[in-house]
Structure 1
Amino acid sequence: MNQIFKSVLSQSFILSLLTLAAANQSNAQNITIPIETSHQALVLQADENKNLKNIYLGKKLADPKEYDFIKSRYKQTEDYSGLLNSAYTPSGSRNLMEPAISVIHADGNMSLDLRYISHKTIRLNDNVSLLTVLLKDPVYNFEVTLYYKSYHKEDVIEQWNVIRHHEKGNVTLQKFASANLNLQAQSFWLKQFHGDWAKEMQPEESKLTHGIKTLDTKLGTRANLFMPSVFMVSLDKPATEDEGNVLYGALEWSGNFKIDFEVDFQDNLRIIAGMNNYASPYILKPGEEFTTPAFLFTLSDKGKGEASRKLQNWARNYKLLDGKGNRLTLLNNWEATYFDFNEQKLSGLLKDTKKLGVDLFLLDDGWFGNKHPRNDDHAGLGDWQENRRKLPNGITSLVKEAGADGVKFGIWIEPEMVNPKSDLYTKHPDWVIKQPDREEHYFRNQLVLDLSNPKVQDFVYGIVDSLFIKAPSLAYIKWDCNAVIYNAYSAHLKNNQSQFYIDYVHGLYKVLERIRAKYPVVPMMLCSGGGGRVDYGALKYFTEFWPSDNTDPVERIFIQWDYSYFYPAIASSNHVTDWGKQPVKFRTDVAMMGKLGFDIVVSELKENDLKFCQDAVSTYNTLKNVIWQGDQYRLVNPHEQNMASLMYVDSTKSTAVMFNYLVNYRYGESSKTPIRLKGLDPAKKYRIQEINIYPGTKSPVQSEKLFSGDFLMNIGFNPEVNTTRTSVILKITADLSKAANTL
């Protein structure tokens, strides 16, 4: 009996060893590639058949070896294709779901199979690494290289791809996404944004159900007019400001985009994001490369606020032009004069700029055109010569006069556009985007120039270059873009019309690259009729953007709030204007939440209003670095309550600025309970002082009292906002004296 038992035991032991060896052999055939940042991980794995898959996207594990165990923990229905969680899903072979890439080979075959060949990681510096993964089709001489750029401290990953082939003829790219992510959770909640002119960044949140939800645009330029290419996805339940798992995503592309969210039959979420392939099959010649724009994402397991701070910090450090630098406060003439101005009026505004205390005067639309003078928006676009009636001495004279007054000078341009009433339209009709023999259709009485054409690129670059050649001390450019593309057709591209939408944006970027090569530090505002072109593909050339033409301060609280999920305060141009019925204090306080500017008639301000604005500019100059570079914390959501409150805290937790606004003026409405602050040091003692106090009024805030950071973050502070104090800004300063530390 013992002999039999020993025999069975021996056989069992041998069987276990064989099973373990087989498992190890299987694991040896799998190549696991973790892409880790400080807190998150995207894990790729090439299986035994060299199919590259995304096996994990979530919180980083302490032991990277345990990523190999993830797949076996899921007991879902069978993946019939073996491609459900593909890292870059091809079409036409085994795939049954939405593909990331579709092609027509030189021989007309429409199938594609991409298999893992190799990968390598390059450490670019102490914080940034770049992973490249080469995939090839085993039948066709066609390959894709996946790029993953990871920013360790900021927890941000950028993903893009390079597509190339060496087939005997041209290949047509039918779809060419930048990213193909896979997420696993019990449920998925999409927060997206939509809008129109003066109604930017309207939020909507909904649970994703099976099938495909698509965010896209087909406008050609000013692509974000109706829908921006930013979003967030919460896992299991909608994330709050400080709780929940959430992914932020954004495409770095200024043209047509498409983002698909597909909940598949295994109940997982596939996100495929990139250029919109609408009307855009792209011909790729042998040996040529097609590079997709980058898609960026970050994950947080501590809610939306942490995700925002990660993304804002990344943007300041790596993407936004001069993100750690200075910005100019300004006075714009648009709402003061519109098109009706001359040198005498502008001279007065230059003196008002100095009186107000801001850095720069910005001359807006209407300064150009002679045969077709720019006296309204029906004529002159394209004819970038100073209007001799309005400016007989030209821009150069104004720049010199501004310098003599002790301020800088900036100017508005819209170089991508043309009015039919212009010399440019008459001389170069082939430079204009319009269908032959079809009736022209206008957006804001204008058409778009064909930036796929190198001659047009030279012309647009020359507009900017000539301004600086005439006036080298020109200090600021406001770059506008007010039209979408109708009747898309390029005379330059001839028979390659399907490449137009992509080549237009590439042409724009070529122009901006040339401008930045020659003028690397000149501040430029990305305008586009409000938020029509706000993305990180464009913002690497611009220092700031114009969120909306809607400058009603109550509306701006909401618009700026929702932009702040994705963009830092230093990038947001906020102007004090005459929109809305609120007093100048309220309007100024709202504008101070980003990069401050004014668009008012200074000479018509009442004495106390002028003094308040002057004092506010001085105060802002002492605190702007905290607002621009500090960590942002959203405290009270105006979409959920009758108040808005947010704050910025510097890196040492020594200084903070807290903005508080009443957004509903119903009877008795006020800040009834204390607001819990965030981001402070619980051990430090803080003094709270109200700033931006209107002349002749007194604050109820007693600045001599000290509060611990622990108290302020757990109990809070009431700014005493009410219908007579609709806007309150608080400066919070750590008291470093020994007495404060012993209280």
Structure 2
Amino acid sequence: MKTLLAFILFALSSLTYVNATDNKTIRISTKDTDLILQVGENGRLYQTYLGEKLLHEQDLQHFQWNIHAGSDGSVSKRGWEVYGGSGNEDFFEPAISITHHDGNPSTILYYVSSSDKAVEGGTETTILLRDDRYPVEVTLHYIAYPKENIIKTWSEIRHQEKKPVTLSSYASTMLYFNNSGYYLTEFSSDWAKEAQMSSQQLQFGKKVIDTKLGSRAAMHTHPFFEIGLDQPVNEHQGTVLMGTLGWTGNFRFTFEVDNVGNLRVIPAINPYASTYELKANEVFTTPEFIFTLSNNGTGQGSRNFHEWARNYGIKDGNGPRLTLLNNWENTAFNFNEEKLAALMKEAKHLGVDMFLLDDGWFGNKYPRKNDRAGLGDWEVTRDKLPGGIPALVRSAKDAGVKFGIWIEPEMVNPKSELFEKHPEWVIKLPNRETYYYRHQLVLDLSNPKVQDYVYNVVADILKENPETAFFKWDCNSPITNIYSPYLKEKQGQLYIDHVRGIYNVMKRVKANYPDVPMMLCSGGGARCDYEALKYFTEFWCSDNTDPIERIYIQWGFSQFFPAKAMCAHVTGWNKSTSVKFRTDVASMCKLGFDLGLKELSADELTYCQTAVTNWKRLQAAIMDGVQYRLVSPYQSNHMAVNYVSRDTDKAVLFAYDIYPRFQEKLMPVRLQGLNPDKRYKVEEINLMPSVKSALKANGKIYSGDYLMKVGLDVFGTAITQSHVIELTAQ
């Protein structure tokens, strides 16, 4: 009787909220974009507008006609439910699917209340929705960042039913569009060929982009996309939606064109093998979906993301970045203290800030001589490095550089002391033959004991060696043999709870060691999302450092990430290209080296030293300035990009001839972002010793207006040639 009375009071309170707020309008705005939501006559919440910002508040009243429900329960074609549930009158993909404790699979959410509050950089709008028949609530969150023209949104799901409910889908949000056509650009991937861009027109039905890899989740597809509205995606003009999901695990983007040509976009955790049992009063929080709507092509959309990321999206986004020398390409597993000490001196001679020790420094019972053993045993190999990490830190200090180190704390080799001691800590199927990817397995981060262990991999190194200045955190295997001994009968929660466990560790590391920069790596670029980047200063774009391939990879990642978040190293990959070309390509991002100086001629070494000096001197433009992609490698045999400092006094142009055709017509490169009224001196830098610039404009002074409207002749007909041009306001 008490339960029945409580339910009646709950239902009446819901109806009271609805009747009191008919046609309420909620406006979520940036400087360029309006997202308008309204409560319909039926008490449910609808999106009535998403587009260019409206100038006059009174015009919002004209949207009310769009959300009247028909007599048959249908809704006008522009009355799209903001967080539609399964089992209602909508015939298309829902945002949320719940099976209630009594077996009812429907969820219909009604508006209850909303509020706004100021947060760092913007305004957060919170909207409470509630089912009228079951004690289920969904809270929608939107943060609008006016200056950057970015909106971030996520949802929270909770209930007070007698028993747990089952979640079978749980989107972060739903967005709707009514245009003449929709053109999707997606970013596919594999090892050594990340962020490959391809486009297609969306037709009736659903296009799904998803991943089921668990960890190393973005190995085959990245968690971001672009949609051109009314026309294909274009760099410099047209309306484009650019969105990305902050989730380091399985994700799914659903793009559904309905029977009347409207598009709904649904970003979410992939519910594959992830039926989630939600207890009463437990909160299920979906990942953050971050998006911008640009009316000036992807170039402006990218600049929106870059600015937002530096301010709010990545760890120490406005701080400096360390140049480095890594030992991997030089030594692989074959090193000792003497070799490393010599490389640290090379790092100092090169002019970089730090030496980074890569894989191969750990394991005693099973020494890390290859990738088949030792992973999980984070003790220094005594016969290889008898002085341990403290001796390496001292050697780096003596050489005059900082010391960084590689770890892969979420993984384990079966041939390890950790696996022998704790086989129950590993994700591994019972009663099946075990499949090993790269000779390793994934630790079960849903288990709090495993979370403590992984955290202590970092903490123990820093307690013993507080001067350790950098971590490269790798993750080389997807989840295989998908079973958690810890979760037992709740295997549907493994993929989700595992990622949440990773975040628990990362949060602890950042809280206790906030000033230690860290590189996010996953067999290359298979971790590249803005949730993980809250805890990392940068990510490794790809193990492929061939400069030609890197031009495409870095072009793709730059759509969503600023240059200072993208690590790029000069290595021995593709030695048919010059050291200059390789270094100039890496200099577009966070610069590093992974080669021995003995490989270089005297002129090449001098060149590299000069390039490092120039990069450091120009960080304010390259790392913290505004990026403009000028010439696409996808549309030409060349590539060009320029960066402009915030005060527009300094700019850097990078131009590359990849594979020019015989006697092809070469067009001037028109720069962007300069002050048209300032006059700029043009100077080619990063030249080999004794080589003079052949650039006709070298040393001359031009107005910003001329450089943007007429441009510079910087392209040539020789393959794999590069030019780096510094422009300084006079």
- Which TM-score band (shorter chain)? over 0.9
Q: What is the CA deviation profile of residues 345-389 of structure 1, one whole-angstrom value per residue up to 9, with x for unaligned ones?
A: 111101111111100000000000111110110110001110111
Q: Which residue of 2 aligns with 1:15?
A: none
Moved more, 228-237 or 602-611: 602-611
Deviation at 1:78, TM superposition (A): 11
Match of 1:476 in 2: 470
> Which residue, out of 53, 64, 70, partners 1:60?
53
Map 1:174-573; keep pairs closer than 5 Å: 174-573=168-567
Q: Distance in 2 between matches of 1:599 and 1:627?
A: 21
1:150 to partner: Cα distance = 0.8
- Give the 3-state SS of the residue equivalent to 1:228 in structure 2: coil
1:720, distance to aligned residue in structure 2 (A): 4.2
* Shift in Å, 1:265: 1.5
Aligned residue in 2 for 1:91: 86
SS in 2 for 1:179: coil
Task: Tell me which residue corresponds to 2:16.
Answer: none
Residues of 2 paired with 1:51 and 1:389: CA distance?
69
Aligned residue among 656, 660, 672 for 2:655? 660
- Does the aligned pair in 1 maintain the 2:521–2:540 contact within 8 Å? yes
**Does 2:683 align with 1:650?**
no
- The alpha carbon displacement at 1:724 in A equals 7.0
- d(CA) in 1 for partners of 2:21, 2:416: 69
Amino acid at match of 1:242: H
CA distance in 1, matches of 2:71, 2:345: 74
Go from structure 1 to structure 2 and tell me whether the alpha carbon gap of 1:675 and 1:349 turns closer, same or farther (over 3 Å shift). Answer: same
On the 8 A contact 1:660/1:721 being kept in 2, the answer is: no
Query: Aligned equivalents of 2:72 and 2:713: distance in 1?
Result: 55
Does residue 734 (structure 1) correspond to residue 729 (structure 2)? The answer is yes
Q: Distance in 1 between matches of 2:627 and 2:263?
A: 30
Q: Does 1:714 align with 2:709?
A: yes
Deviations along 1:570-626, one digit per CA (max 9) or x if unpaired, are 000000000012110000000000100000011231111111001111111110221
Q: 1:33 aligns with which of 26, 32, 50?
A: 26
Residue of 686, 689, 697 corresponding to 2:680:
686
Q: Does 1:632 align with 2:627?
A: yes
SS state of the match for residue 108, structure 2? coil
Measured against aligned partners, the alpha-carbon deviations of 1:69-96 in whole angstroms (never above 9, x if no partner) come to 1464899999963386110010012221
Gap regions ≥5 residues in structure 1: 1-25, 736-743
1:681 shift after superposition:
1.1
Q: Secondary structure at the match of 1:43?
A: strand
1:82 corresponds to: 75
Q: Secondary structure at the residue paired with 1:261?
A: strand
Deviations 1:610-644 (A, max 9, x none): 11001111111110221111111011111110100
Instruction: Give, in angstroms, the shift of residue 28 of structure 1.
Output: 8.1
> How far does the alpha carbon of each residue in 1:719-738 deviate from its partner, in whole angstroms, 9 at most, with x for none?
14331781001001111xxx
Q: In the TM superposition, what is the alpha-carbon distance from 1:437 to its structure 2 partner? A: 1.4
Distance in 1 (CA, whole Å) between partners of 2:68 and 2:627 is 41
Name the residue aligned to 2:602: 607
Report the equivalent of 1:673. Answer: 667
- The answer as to whether partners of 1:81 and 1:96 remain within 8 angstroms in 2 is no
Task: Summarize the Cα distance change of 1:485–1:78 in structure 2 as closer, same or farther, 3 Å threshold.
Answer: farther
Q: Please show how residues 117-196 of structure 1 align to structure 2 within 5 Å.
A: 117-125=112-120, 127-196=121-190
* Cross-structure match for 1:7: none
Q: What 5-or-longer segments of structure 2 have no aligned partner?
A: 1-18
Partner of 1:101: 96
Looking at structure 2, the residues matched to 374 and 145 of structure 1 have their Cα atoms a distance apart, in angstroms, of: 49
User: 2:655 touches 2:715 (CA, 8 Å); kept in 1?
Assistant: no
Match of 1:593 in 2: 588
**In structure 2, what is the Cα distance between the partners aligned to 1:607 and 1:29?**
76
Q: Is the 8 A contact 2:40 2:68 kept in 1?
A: no
Conservation of the 8 A alpha-carbon contact between 1:629 and 1:650 = yes
Distance in 2, Cα, partners of 1:164 & 1:348: 58
1:668 positional shift: 4.2
Q: CA RMSD in A?
A: 1.8
Residue 14 of structure 1 corresponds to none
**2:656·2:715 contact (CA, 8 Å) conserved in 1?**
no
Higher-Rg structure is 1
Verify the 8 A CA contact 2:658 2:719 in the aligned structure 1: no
What code does the residue aligned with 2:407 have? I
Residue 118 of structure 1 and its aligned partner are, at CA, apart by 0.7
Give, in whole Å, the separation in 1 of the partners of 2:534 and 2:22.
41
Q: How far apart, CA to CA, are the structure 2 residues paired with 1:568 and 1:428?
A: 41
C-alpha distance in 2 between matches for 1:724 and 1:262: 43
> Which of these residues, 37, 46, 50, is aligned with residue 44 of structure 1?
37
Shift of 1:401: 1.2
For 1:28 and 1:168, the matched residues in 2 are separated by 30
Q: Which residue of 2 aligns with 1:8?
A: none
Amino acid at match of 1:361: F
State the distance in 2 between where 1:197 and 1:668 align: 35
> Does the C-alpha gap of structure 1 residues 511 and 400 become closer, same or farther in structure 2, counting only changes over 3 Å?
same
Structure 1 counterpart of 2:23, which letter? N
Compute the displacement of 1:183 (Å). 1.1
Tell me how far apart the structure 2 counterparts of residues 27 and 718 of structure 1 sit (CA, whole Å): 66
Deviation for aligned residue 1:469: 1.0
The whole-number CA distance in structure 1 between the counterparts of 2:149 and 2:720 is 40
Distance in 1 (alpha carbons) for counterparts of 2:312 and 2:88: 39
1:184 Cα deviation from its structure 2 partner: 1.4
- What secondary structure, in the 3-state scheme, does the structure 2 residue paired with 1:693 have? coil
**Do the aligned partners of residues 119 and 681 (structure 1) sit closer, same or farther apart at CA in structure 2, a change above 3 Å counting?**
same
Match of 2:8 in 1: none
Alignment partner of 1:618 is 2:608:
no
CA contact (8 A) 2:309 2:317 kept: yes
Cα distance 1:27–1:502, how it changes in 2: closer, same or farther (>3 A)? Answer: closer
Give the 3-state SS of the residue equivalent to 2:226 in structure 1. strand
Return the alpha-carbon distance in structure 2 between the equivalents of residues 558 and 278 of structure 1: 31
Report the TM-score, using the length of structure 1 for normalisation. Answer: 0.93
How far has the Cα of 1:667 moved from its partner? 3.8
Distance 1:334 1:328, change over 3 A: same
Cα distance in 2 for residues equivalent to 1:597 and 1:535: 22
Task: Give, in angstroms, the shift of residue 67 of structure 1.
Answer: 2.4
Counterpart of 1:546 in structure 2: which amino acid? W
Residues 551 and 579, structure 1, Cα contact 8 Å, conserved in 2: yes
Q: Separation in 2 of the partners of 1:128 and 1:87?
A: 22
